[in-house]
Homo-oligomer: A and B are copies of this chain.
Amino acid sequence: MPADAKPIASVWTRPHHPQREQLTREQIVATAIKLLDSDGVEALSMRKLGARLGAGATSLYRHVANRDELVQLAVDDVYGELDLPASAERTQWRTTVARTAAEVRAMVLRHPWIAPELGQVGLIHIGPNATRMTAELLTQFEAAGFPADEKHEAAATLMSYVIGIATTEAAYVSLIARSGSTERAWVADHSPDFDQDADPRQLRENRFGYGLDRILDGLAARLEPGSDRAARWHGDEG
């Protein structure tokens, strides 16, 4: 096939679009997340991201308004990873809500750079994926039996706890990762009285579970028939 194969070969030797690699917003956000995961938030620069995509720095501005918006998009993309349970019936609300909390915590631990970002942007102008998660949690609390005007407070209580503890954990593990050590070795080094046989990852997990159980206990007490749930909570709080 000396002559006939030429058109087929030329498809590979000379690509159809010499320098028009068709940079898309999805790809930009995806590789930005990869860069954020591996190198942290201060290592993300437009030039570096462009280079990783085989493009110039300012090319990205055709698809993204500025660096801040890019990070916002990355945050919401990460929210899209959540595998949220469907809101179950009243008897199983605890496990459903606990599973949602664990999902959010795991998300933050997978992408530790997201924690300071949540504190910077808050929950105001976040994207559709984060909104979906909030809505899902609200229906879970609704299914649990919380009245319409209290479910927001219940959800905020749980989410504040999850964001707070996951933020602390994320800062901790990313500090250790940046130091090039493992969690176990780091703990053994920095607190010599630590039990060598204990797994610090498991301890973190247990600590998360402890607080979660306390909070769900406190919330569940509002649902018990004997409690003064009928009294709207707005009036009697400081």
Task: Spell out A's residues near B (CB within 8 Å).
Answer: 115-125, 152-154, 156-157, 159-165, 167-168, 170-172, 175, 205-207, 209-211, 213-219, 221-222, 233-234, 237-238
Contacts and interface: CB of A to CB of B under 8 A. Distances in A.
Nearest to A210: B153
Q: Within the oligomer, what is the number of copies of this chain?
A: 2
A211 to B, nearest CB: 3
21 contacts: A115-B119, A119-B167, A119-B168, A119-B171, A122-B168, A124-B175, A154-B214, A156-B211, A157-B210, A160-B164, A164-B164, A164-B165, A164-B167, A205-B238, A209-B237, A210-B233, A210-B237, A213-B218, A215-B215, A217-B217, A221-B221
A216 B217 CA distance: 10
Given A122-B168, A157-B215, A161-B160, A209 B238 contact: yes
